[in-house]
Structure 1
Amino acid sequence: MTSDIEHLKEVVAQLQKEVTRLSDQEDVRKLQYTYGYYLDKCLYKEVADLYSDHPDTCVEFLGGRYNGKEGVKRLYVSRFAKSFVNGRNGPVHGFLLDHPQIQGIVDVNAEGTRAKGRFRSMMSAGTHDSIKDTHPRGSVQWWEGGIYENEYIKEDGVWKIFRLKYFPFWHATFEEGWAHTKPNYVPFLSKTYPDDPNGPNELCENPMLWPDTRVVPFHYKHPATGQQVADDDLRAPRFGEDPSTSAPPLVLSTSKSEA
């Protein structure tokens, strides 16, 4: 009888651990989906509040890295709000920016304190004809696709975004599509803060944009083989050429505590 009870206790403990892991995974997915809903409606203060207060917190965007909670606010509350909605928190009439967060793969560490997630985004954005003379973007509509490889941290029992890394793979005009995207269609960030008051703290190495098709490294291993994808297989040489002729494989940044 005693051995049966001990066995049942072990089973219950294992089940509790698994339930907690699955709950954490769902909480992280919900966090990322919430980020998408807020960002779509230009609720930049709410977006910034989703981020951790950890000193290694950052967000990477268009070749720039914004460090700490202040850097996060500088990107969303300053740069984005000023560019899209004239500095307000919330949408403006006639401006569209929809980018669903999809295909989420989330992995939580054994301690239940950190997590990593990969998500895809497909964006449709632009301005309505009725605001083309009043909005700074004028008359514009575009497509965009990108990959997130993010890190999350649990603070006081609440999951928050720790290090968001967004790689916008491609942009295209609605009228002509991605086959005709001009080089440097969306220029990478080139000036850092404070030279650019709304700029990043530092610039990232080897930023990429369509037609560059290098693979953003996967935070997870192959589920069947247990192996990481080889670096050369993440590169994107021209058709028929050796991988060594292409740009270097992308490398995900790490926090100072992991370096």
Structure 2
Amino acid sequence: MDRLDELTQALRALEATVAQQADELARTRHQLGLLEDRAEIERLQYAYGYFIDNRMFREMADLFCDEGAWIEIGQRGRYLGKERIHAFLLRVLGDGRWGLAKDEVINHVQQQPIITIADDRQSAKSRARAQVQGNSPPDTPHFLLADGIYENEYVREDGQWKIRGIGVTMTFYAALERAKIWFPSAPPSEDMPPDSPSLPVVEALGRQFNPWHFTHPVKGYKLAIPASDLATGG
């Protein structure tokens, strides 16, 4: 084999190695992109859970895409379009009131998300569940426990992940007669006083509330403490 043949073979081997590395780099970038997508979708879904906990209906609707959005909760039927979704959340679920009344409790604990992202990374679906607890309205003699299963859709719109559809079927509801619900925790120790006071109680809520450390995941605006103004409905 002459020198030219050796160089030709060496060049071909180098080209094959470069092609293999380029393919591996592309697959690695794709896998990294899928992980980033999953994190953003989880953030959307968890934000949805926190917003419904606090009856923040405008903030919930702002998580949805501008085109093709829908929501279907239990057997209440499906509502189409972002503004119809907001109206449904506020008027039907919220009875016209934004935010929590004093001593009101609502929790939607988001769990077990299984997220499937399309190969082109432009759409995704998830299955998850919510454990629901609440005493809404706060003077009800019962405490609600419920479980629901989500099958949701997401879409990348204008380069940003948004919720396309929320669909939840309820596994069960249980209204338990309650004896008492209380909100203050134990007081500061007298034997070993704290170095600084705790977060103060929000009087309109009747309990402490941790301020939001993040802005709205889609719109970017600052999130308010969800205390209802009962005179104006929010």
Whether TM exceeds 0.5 here: the answer is: yes
Match of 1:152 in 2: 154
Q: Which residue of 1 aligns with 2:45?
A: 32
Please tell me whether the aligned partners of residues 109 and 130 of structure 2 are also in contact (alpha carbons under 8 angstroms).
yes
Q: Measure, in 2, the Cα distance between the counterparts of 1:59 and 1:20.
A: 27
1:57 aligned residue? 69
Rounded Cα–Cα distance in structure 2 between residues aligned with 1:127 and 1:30: 26
Partner of residue 11, structure 1: 24
Shift of 1:62: 2.8
Q: Which amino acid aligns with 1:57?
A: A
**Could you tell me the percent identity over the aligned residues?**
29
Structure 2: runs of 5+ lacking an equivalent: 1-13, 179-234
- Aligned 8 A contact 2:151 2:166 in 1: yes
SS at match of 2:63: coil
* Mapping of residues 220-239 of structure 1, within 5 Å: none
Q: CA deviation at 1:127?
A: 4.7
Aligned partners of 1:62, 1:110: CA distance in 2, in Å? 30
2:82 match: 69
**Looking at both structures, which has the greater relative contact order when contacts are Cα pairs under 8 Å and sequence separation is at least 6?**
2
> CA 1:127/1:150 → structure 2, altered by over 3 Å: closer, same or farther?
closer
Q: How many Å apart are 1:110 and its aligned residue?
A: 0.6
Contact residue 69 and residue 165 of structure 2 kept, 8 A: yes
CA distance in 2, matches of 1:28, 1:57: 16
Q: How far, CA to CA, are the matches of 2:86 and 2:144 in structure 1?
A: 25
Deviates most, 28-37 or 68-77: 68-77
Question: Is the contact made by 1:127 and 1:139 (CA closer than 8 Å) also made in structure 2?
Answer: no
Spell out the pairing of 1:135-214 with structure 2 (5 A cutoff): 138-175=140-177
Q: Secondary structure at the match of 1:27?
A: helix
Check whether the contact 2:61–2:83 (CA below 8 A) recurs between aligned residues: no
CA–CA distance in structure 2, aligned partners of residues 32 and 90 of structure 1 = 19
Superposed structure 1 runs of 4+ greater than 4 Å apart: none
The equivalent of 1:253 in structure 2 is none
Residues 101 and 120 of structure 1 are in contact (CA less than 8 Å); yes or no, is this contact kept in structure 2?
Answer: yes
Cα distance between partner residues in 2 of 1:110 and 1:126:
43
Provide the secondary structure at the position in 2 that maps to 1:174.
Answer: strand
Secondary structure at the counterpart of residue 91 of structure 1: coil
State the distance in 1 between where 2:58 and 2:110 align. 19
Amino acid at match of 1:26: A
Deviation for aligned residue 1:88: 3.9
Deviation string 1:125-160 (CA, Å, 9 cap, x unpaired) is: 1158xx52xxxxx33311111100011111111111
Matched, 1:43 2:45: no
User: What is the rounded CA distance, in whole Å, between the counterparts of 1:175 and 1:59 in structure 2?
Assistant: 31
Larger Rg: 2
Counterpart CA distance in 2 for 1:77 and 1:19 is 38
Structure 1 distance, partners of 2:62, 2:73, is 18
* Residue 126 (1) aligns with residue 135 (2): yes
Matched, 1:110 2:119: yes
TM norm structure 1: 0.60
Question: What number of residue pairs does the alignment pair up?
Answer: 164
Pairwise CA distance, 1:114: 0.6
**2-side partners of 1:79 and 1:39: how far apart?**
13
TM-score by length of 2: 0.66
CA distance in 2, matches of 1:30, 1:14: 24
C-alpha RMSD of the superposition: 1.7
